Chain A
Amino acid sequence: MKPKVAFFDFTSCEGCQLQKLNCEDELVDILSAVEVVNFREATSVRRDDYDIAFVEGSISTPSCVERIKKIRENAKVLVALGACATTGGLNMLKNFQPLDKVREYVYGDKAGYFDTLPVRPVDQVVKVDYKVHGCPMDKQDYMNVLKALLTGQEPRLLKYPVCVECKMKENACRYDFGEICLGPITRAGCGARCPSVNHICFGCRGLLDDPKMDAANDVLAAHGLTAQDVLRKYRLFYGYSEVSQ
């Protein structure tokens, strides 16, 4: 019997939903290997008897909390897709301002119409079995996890930094251009996509399990960068670690 899979989205840009559809070469094969029983963005079929739930987005409202708990109850395996789901992503920036002020700034005196909570990654609310990092998630990374799950293997996360992939591509180091790059402490798996087009790494794939922070900070200091610059940059995608400490 084909495994039944479902796709759900929470607070996010739905770019990771799009990345799944962007696997054009594999899409037909994937869809013939699984049965899609719930994918609001792509089909009117909606059932709750899924084996694997793929979840995109952060948890940011009371109704998100209820929905993700139900999904966890129904799913045998839950996979968080993309930075919003795995680390809270950019949505975490909201948490650094008072919630009332944030609501008022956007909705004015009508702020009371809409509920919001501090943003959380999915694993702060329910157990997450596997994660596919990145903003957006990398197609190949997603395919690797999907293939592993469908063939009964354990998906693996890379344990080395983006710098490794960047060096293998023989890119010039962004620090040599006086820029702040988070490649030294960010989990690899994207093929150093941003430095490969002469752009710094923003750390969208999250911190390594064992990042060499002191060494990274020494590098920053050696290039005359202030802690303020660095913190601001870290917070773009690393807000979750700051909050959880």
Chain B
Amino acid sequence: MTTAKNLDINVHHVTRVEGHGNIVVNVKNGKLEKCELNIVEAPRFFEAFLRGRNWKESHLITSRICGICSPGHQLASLKATEDAMNIKVSEQTVLLRKVMVGGSFLQSHILHVYFLVSPDLIGAPSVIPLISSHPDVVKRALRLKKLSNDICDVVGGRAVHPISMVPGGFTKIPSAEDLKALRKRLADAVSDVLATVDLVASLAGKLPAFTRDTEYISLGGVDGEFPLYDGKICSSDCGLTSDKNYRKMTNERVVPHSTAKHTAVSRSSFAVGALARCNNNFDKLNATGKGAAKALGYKPKNCNPYFNNVCQVIEVGHVVQDMIELIDKLLANGLKDEPVPQIKPRAGTGVGACEVPRGILYHEYTYDENGTVVDANCVIPTGQNCANIDDDMKKFVPEMLGAGKSKDEITFALEMLVRAYDPCISCSVHLLDVQFV
């Protein structure tokens, strides 16, 4: 029997999240003694073993930080390498990369909302029982997921660890026929997107009514565009700054309970991800995104972390319309068979920042004159959210205890909270904290 005085929660390996994390809560005599998300994922040491590798491999290696976010890791990596070597890419390359961003957001958000979150709201342990109880829902999720994978297959050569994106461009340009076929499927998918919005709108009432104001950080400062591929760093507390200042905007530190490093800027923690992006850049969403926001009852600024899931659905609407428009532009410009430019490596340091489904991602590399990696640093969205999750739990647990919630109810709400951030734990333990000398 739980009383407000004593509570002991230890969820070993939270399920339906990507990677290994434990929730530990300990209340003694009414005092919160411990409340934290322990990241117990095996450390991987990417930054260390990037050293000595060739510049053409950086994006292929860092892609393996995370399968789900692999297109985003490649893009941040390519941008960092291109920055270091002063490589300019064509408009067509940027447009194709933006389609990859859209495809990977669609893939990740659909997977998270349908497979990992909706079972909580429908009251099932996983998506598997929903195959018989809600077959239309599962089929719709699989249709959208397949579309997102096919987009990344066509544009990037493969959805998980794409192949054809390289420094300077693409090794293979998709055909106009393939892009036209994708455009048709995207247009047809709008009805599935609207059905997704309706489904989540019908379940949104089950999200816990918890709020905590925090600092929200995302890309920002791009005219007329909801920034996902490029932009400045935008903080709800500090405004805009160059991506070169990313270390100031993360301040990573090692804590004993997590192989993912923690971060803080102007407060004890900050949030990145769909909620931060929508809070910071709501006006830049397109009509489909804004329509979804209206139907889902989201208005900026929203400080309920569970609404990160709602914002993921808003972004699903946004990227589907966005990809249609990007493909239209590519086709109107006429697809050109642009060979990858011959690049002579040079010494230098470069930073690449882009949004990935779970938040803003930074890669930084220093190369020597042969293009060999001398130093590397990657700051991962889930690492940035860890301190914020701890702070949410520290506010929410006493509130739930005060409201007389049971241990089971509190455990469930905390698991849902961790899941709401869509933590990518294998991503977050690839650490850095490199001393650049």
Chain A residues engaging chain B, CB cutoff 8 angstroms? 10-19, 21-22, 24-25, 27-28, 31-32, 36, 39-46, 60-61, 63-64, 89-91, 93-94, 96-97, 101-103, 105-108, 110, 113-114, 116, 135-136, 193-194, 196-199, 202, 232, 236
Contacts and interface: CB of A to CB of B under 8 A. Distances in A.
Interface residues of B, number: 63
A113 B433 contact: no
Given A107-B433, A193-B163, A198 B171 contact: yes
A228 to B, nearest CB: 11
A89 B60 CA distance: 13
Query: Secondary structure of the A side of the interface?
Result: helix
B43 interface: yes
9 contacts: A14-B19, A17-B67, A41-B18, A43-B126, A46-B15, A60-B44, A106-B48, A106-B432, A193-B157
Interface stretch (B24-32, B142-150, B271-279, B302-310): B142-150
Contacts of B126: 36, 39, 42-45
A24 B16 contact: no
A236 B57 contact: yes
Contacts of B68: 14-15, 18
A231 to B, nearest CB: 12
Interface in B228-247: none
Interface string B410-437: 0000000000000000110001111100
Contact of B60 (A10, A45, A108, A202): A202
Query: Secondary structure of the B side of the interface?
Result: loop
Given A43-B125, A97-B48, A106-B433, A19 B160 contact: yes
A42 B157 contact: no
B207 interface: no
B99 interface: no
Given A15-B68, A42-B115, A113-B256, A94 B45 contact: yes
Interface of B: 13, 15-20, 40, 42-45, 47-49, 51, 53-54, 57, 60-61, 64-68, 70, 111, 115-116, 119, 125-128, 131, 138-139, 142-143, 145-146, 149, 157-161, 163-164, 166, 171-172, 254, 256, 259, 426-427, 431-435
B42 A107 contact: no
Contact of A21 (B115, B161, B259, B432): B115
Nearest to B435: A108
Contacts of A198: 164, 171-172
Q: Which of A36, A43, A106, A193 has most B Cβ within 10 Å?
A: A106
Nearest to B259: A114
B49 A93 contact: yes
A15 B48 contact: no
A43 B415 CA distance: 13
Nearest to A12: B426
Contact of B131 (A32, A89, A90, A113): A32
Nearest to A11: B42
Contacts of A199: 157, 163-164, 166, 171-172
B163 A31 contact: no
A13 B67 contact: yes
Given A24-B146, A105-B434, A110 B17 contact: no
Given A13-B427, A17-B67, A24-B146, 20 more contacts: A11-B42, A11-B44, A12-B67, A14-B67, A14-B68, A18-B111, A19-B160, A31-B131, A32-B131, A40-B13, A40-B16, A61-B43, A94-B44, A105-B434, A107-B43, A108-B435, A116-B42, A116-B43, A199-B163, A236-B60
A22 B148 CA distance: 10
